[in-house]
């Protein structure tokens, strides 16, 4: 599904919206389009280019209910910035795994608070032990991420279209080396 990056009036990334929402905002004259996707969207009566980056023309209030960040592999790596939480080195996705801080066999749960990003080496070294038993310290206590638009955009960034990059570049730390 094609998504549109929505910037606020001062060109900062605000959120990512689906194409239907993008078209609605456009029809309401609330936005200007800065970039389009190459591909056309064919409607029943009209064909149009899908906006890839849009900027709000005035401040718009969005639904403020916080949404939970989905508990998934990619989101855990994003939370931990692709960094092993034991040796504090950065790795590529394929060289990372999860560590259950308190091992499942010892009653540990599959929750944000009990899962940390680890490299294979540290994960093997720690094995089925707790950090204290393995004499390995977590650099940071794992926490459940609170929803915020920037985090949501960061989570999607690995698959972000090229046309977004100029707009995201100045505002957040990117990790797009693969």
Q: For the chain, what is the radius of gyration of the CA atoms?
A: 20
Q: Is 136 in the site for Zn ion (CB under 5 A)?
A: no
Q: Which helix (H) or strand (E) holds 152?
A: helix 149-156
Interface stretch with Zn ion, choices 16-24, 41-49, 111-119, 145-153 (CB under 5 A): 111-119
Whole-number minimum distance, CB 143 to Zn ion, in Å?
A: 19
Residues 14-43 that bind Zn ion (CB under 5 A): none
Distance CA 47, CA 34 (A): 19
Q: Is 119 in the site for Zn ion (CB under 5 A)?
A: yes
Q: Is 122 in the site for Zn ion (CB under 5 A)?
A: yes
∠ CA 152-69-131, rounded to 5°? 115
Structure tokens at 8: 């606020």
Interstrand relation of 3-7 and 47-56 (parallel, antiparallel or unpaired) = parallel
Interface stretch with Zn ion, choices 65-73, 118-126, 133-141, 148-156 (CB under 5 A): 118-126
> Using CB under 5 A as the criterion, which residues of the chain lie in contact with Zn ion when the complex forms?
84, 86-87, 119, 122
């Amino acid at each position: 599904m094609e998504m549109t990056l929505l910037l606020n009036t001062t060109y900062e990334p605000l959120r990512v919206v689906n194409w239907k929402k993008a078209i609605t905002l456009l029809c309401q004259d609330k936005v200007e389009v800065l970039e389009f996707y190459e591909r056309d969207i064919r409607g029943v009566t009209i064909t149009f280019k899908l906006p890839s980056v849009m900027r709000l023309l005035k401040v718009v209030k969005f639904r403020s209910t916080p949404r939970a960040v989905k508990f998934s592999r990619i989101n855990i790596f994003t939370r931990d910035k692709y960094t092993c939480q034991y040796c504090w080195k950065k790795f590529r996705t394929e060289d990372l795994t999860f560590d259950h801080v308190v091992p499942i066999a010892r009653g540990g749960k599959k929750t944000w608070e009990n899962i940390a990003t680890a490299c294979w080496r540290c994960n093997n070294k720690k094995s089925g032990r707790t950090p204290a038993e393995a004499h390995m310290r977590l650099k940071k206590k794992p926490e459940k991420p609170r929803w915020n638009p920037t985090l949501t955009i960061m989570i999607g960034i690995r698959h972000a279209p090229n046309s977004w990059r100029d707009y995201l570049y100045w505002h957040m730390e990117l990790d797009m080396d693969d």
